[in-house]
Amino acid sequence: MRPIALVTGASSGIGKACALALLQEGWQVVMVGRRADALAAVVAQAGDHAPQAYAIPADVSKEPEVLAVFAEIRDRFGRLDLVFNNAGISLPYTLPGDVTGEAWRRMVDTNLNGAFYTLSQAFKLMQEQSPQGGRIINNGSISAHVPRPGSIAYTATKHAISGLTRAASLDGRPYNIAVGQIDIGNVASDMTLKMAQGVHQADLSIRPEPRMDMSAVVETFLTMARLPLSANILFTTVMATNMPYVGRG
For residue 92, say if its preceding peptide bond is cis, omega within 30 degrees of 0.
no
What ranges do the domains of the chain cover? 4-239
Between CA 186 and CA 208 the distance in angstroms is 11
Q: How many CB atoms lie within 10 A of CB 249?
A: 9
Write down the pLDDT at residue 210. 79
Task: Tell me the average pLDDT of the chain.
Answer: 93
Q: Above pLDDT 90, what percent of the chain?
A: 81
Are the CB atoms for 214 and 14 separated by under 8 Å?
Answer: yes
Residue 130: is its pLDDT beyond 60? yes
Q: How many CB atoms lie within 10 A of CB 201?
A: 15
Residue 117 falls in the annotated catalytic set: no
Are the CB atoms for 4 and 82 separated by under 8 Å?
Answer: yes
Catalytic residue among 54, 117, 154, 245: 154
pLDDT band with cut points at 50, 70 and 90 for residue 185? confident
Domain 4-239 has what CATH class? alpha beta
Write down the pLDDT at residue 191. 63
**Predicted model pTM:** 0.93
Write down the pLDDT at residue 18. 98
